[in-house]
Structure 1
């Protein structure tokens, strides 16, 4: 009976170790925080530095939270695991475990419980952490690129693009709504005068060429307190644009229009009365 129980436990241990190794091998980096929650100061008792050292001892590439990150990690945060050290309760023992979470905040690995009976904090934390890290002796970690993280990034990028498109559409609707309210307040003469403004521009051949052939005519962005002014090679100010809360989306001063970037191309969406037009621009920042 005892032999069967021992065999079962050994099989479970081997399976768990193999599963953990497979999971951990999918990740290229381990991010070490500057401070653990159960401590009052950054790197108190040198525990964070020791954590970084021990991960590297067992073959992991470590990054310090908030530090300088490599380009591949900047583009794909799912290449890294967030590490944490958790303190267990106990009056006469210091108890620590090491925990690793993925980019979706799911626990990927939890170490064994590391304990120490030393009364002095700096020494007891050191001993307990080293004992917890003994779990990694059987992991035999070696990074092996996986398609799993690449798929996560693709989904994230798609989600981000959809959110940007929705925000741009929402901004267009708000501009149209503001325009409609303005037309309800002003009289007929003022309304006609405002509608004629873009017509005059279209009659001027020089101005018409600047707008319609915006792709071939470069507009140079000069920074202003609220955004930029776009000038041609004359130099002449063609548009003044103000920043919004959205990245690469600007409101054009003086006309009912926005300028935004989509797929590395700048566009001008302009309301001429009830007609919405879209034009491509060549802007150099």
Structure 2
């Protein structure tokens, strides 16, 4: 009962702090994406810890997916609709396992972290399971409910400025790019037309078919990355990276979120079996 009361008090204090400083609410995110592995254990979904995390998020009212699941269409259009989960094992205490759950936005900024879940169970499989379950008890007080941010609450997007020395109007694709950078893609209705990218990766990479997607290699041949299929055609997640590779208007793009910034380039990609 004492632990329950302490948890409630802590939640109230965290909530008040968020209101005072005007931080973005956890309710402003539509999905939670759970990775298929954690750093403190080897292998995908080891001890089914990642599946357990997904289950517990859904239990407490979130809409959670594993990164390898079929993901919603709107999430491909705007990755910032989701929070990205992780489980962190705290530095060792003798005879005690401690874990906390982290939720970060698409820029890698911490939005929420759970209380520390702990257990004195000695077997690793049970210890991590119990610790994660205990950490999730603090989510009971969140009462999560998705609340989209109104367009008026977003930062202003300037769409009529022109690059210096360029007399052309800003294209529709540039408007979408600007709105994506503040975490929301505006609904822009315009006639679709193919736009050739200005910069294409000079190095040619080759895609070898695998059971789950493709291996991308260079001329040496050296392994560059591994692509994993998603539910969306011609869109792949990059193994062990917060990145995707996708086809758009006849060009292959690599898009990665690193240190809070979205890095994007066009790949010179050729496919063969």
Taking structure 1 as the reference length, the TM-score comes to 0.50
Q: Give secondary structure in 1 for the equivalent of 2:38.
A: coil
Residues 188-243 of structure 1 show CA distances to partners (whole Å, capped at 9, x for unaligned) of: xxxxxxxxxxxxxxxxxxxxxxxxxxxxxxxxxxxxxxxxxxxxxxxxxxxxxxxx
Q: Do the aligned partners of 1:17 and 1:138 also contact (CA within 8 Å) in 2?
A: no
Give the superposed CA RMSD. 3.6
Cα shift at 1:76 = 1.0
Q: Give secondary structure in 1 for the equivalent of 2:86.
A: strand
Answering whether residue 140 of structure 2 is matched by residue 137 of structure 1, we say yes
Q: 1:158 aligns with which of 167, 172, 177?
A: 177
Q: Do the aligned partners of 1:99 and 1:107 also contact (CA within 8 Å) in 2?
A: yes
Corresponding residue for 1:17?
Answer: 15
Corresponding residue for 2:240?
Answer: none
Answering whether residue 125 of structure 2 is matched by residue 122 of structure 1, we say yes
Cα shift at 1:248 = 4.2
Q: Any residues of structure 2 matched to 1:1-285 within 5 Å, and which? A: 13-17=11-15, 19=18, 23-90=25-92, 91-147=94-150, 151=154, 157-159=176-178, 167-168=197-198, 248=250
Please identify which structure carries the higher helix content.
1
User: Whole-Å Cα distance in 2 between the matches of residues 106 and 129 of structure 1?
Assistant: 21
Q: Give secondary structure in 2 for the equivalent of 1:78.
A: helix
User: Whole-Å Cα distance in 1 between the matches of residues 52 and 113 of structure 2?
Assistant: 18
Go from structure 1 to structure 2 and tell me whether the alpha carbon gap of 1:57 and 1:12 turns closer, same or farther (over 3 Å shift): closer
Aligned residues: 164
Go from structure 1 to structure 2 and tell me whether the alpha carbon gap of 1:32 and 1:141 turns closer, same or farther (over 3 Å shift): same
User: Whole-Å Cα distance in 1 between the matches of residues 9 and 121 of structure 2?
Assistant: 34
Unaligned runs of 5+ in 1: 1-8, 172-244, 250-285
Go from structure 1 to structure 2 and tell me whether the alpha carbon gap of 1:148 and 1:134 turns closer, same or farther (over 3 Å shift): farther
User: Whole-Å Cα distance in 2 between the matches of residues 53 and 156 of structure 1?
Assistant: 37
Residues 94-121 of structure 1 show CA distances to partners (whole Å, capped at 9, x for unaligned) of: 1100000001110000111110101011
Q: Do the aligned partners of 2:26 and 2:111 also contact (CA within 8 Å) in 1?
A: yes
Q: Do the aligned partners of 1:116 and 1:127 also contact (CA within 8 Å) in 2?
A: yes
Q: Do the aligned partners of 2:11 and 2:141 also contact (CA within 8 Å) in 1?
A: no
User: Whole-Å Cα distance in 2 between the matches of residues 106 and 86 of structure 1?
Assistant: 15
Larger Rg: 1
User: Whole-Å Cα distance in 2 between the matches of residues 35 and 149 of structure 1?
Assistant: 38
Taking structure 2 as the reference length, the TM-score comes to 0.52
User: Whole-Å Cα distance in 1 between the matches of residues 11 and 131 of structure 2?
Assistant: 22
Larger RCO: Structure 1 or Structure 2 (Cα < 8 Å, ≥ 6 residues apart)?
A: 2
Q: Give secondary structure in 1 for the equivalent of 2:28.
A: coil
User: Whole-Å Cα distance in 1 between the matches of residues 8 and 56 of structure 2?
Assistant: 26
Cα shift at 1:73 = 0.9
User: Whole-Å Cα distance in 1 between the matches of residues 152 and 36 of structure 2?
Assistant: 25
